[in-house]
Amino acid sequence: MARAETLDQAAAALDTLLGLHCLLPEEVDETLIRGRLSGAGWQIKDHHWLLPNAQGEPLASMVIHKAPGKRLLSFTIDVPNSPDPVEALAAIVTVCHSLNEQYGAPLIDDSGNTLNTAAIEGIYKHLVGRVCDLTDSGFKPGSPVARTLFS
């Protein structure tokens, strides 16, 4: 029982879910958004989108929320379950950057803070540290053992 508690505490300390959002004006046509996401490799599945790697494993997910006056693209990286969380973050930043250039759609965090270049670099550094922590603990992100433990 003590070993199970130790494992549970270690898993809780390593579990990381990264959420980022792209805030679009409501007048941006959803068909255009869907085309942009598809062109960037995202695939729609039911009510959400998945970004697969070359082997078809999901790197990240995304849902589109509609609210009066705005449309929010909410991206999620389940770090222990993603085979390459850093690649996932790069893909999210790239698609959001292109939407920002064209529609003034900022990349924001869960608290609604706009993320500038320095903040995004900080997220990358923190994410790389988390990936190293997971790997050093024997739970390489996306590995069968990580997927079993963190599912």
1-19 tens-digit pLDDT: 666 565 555 555 566 789 9
14-37 b/e with 16+ CB inside 10 Å = b? bbbebebbbbbeeebeeeebeebb
Evaluate whether 64 touches 71 at the Cβ level (below 8 Å): yes
Local structure of 112: helix, strand or coil: coil
Evaluate whether 82 touches 60 at the Cβ level (below 8 Å): yes
Distance (Å, rounded) from C-alpha 120 to C-alpha 143?
A: 26
Distance (Å, rounded) from C-alpha 145 to C-alpha 93?
A: 28
Distance (Å, rounded) from C-alpha 119 to C-alpha 113?
A: 10
* Residue-wise pLDDT tens digits, 78-98: 999 999 999 999 999 999 999
Q: Domains (ranges, CATH) in the chain?
A: 16-150 (3.30.1400.10)
Whether the per-residue pLDDT at 122 is higher than 80: the answer is yes
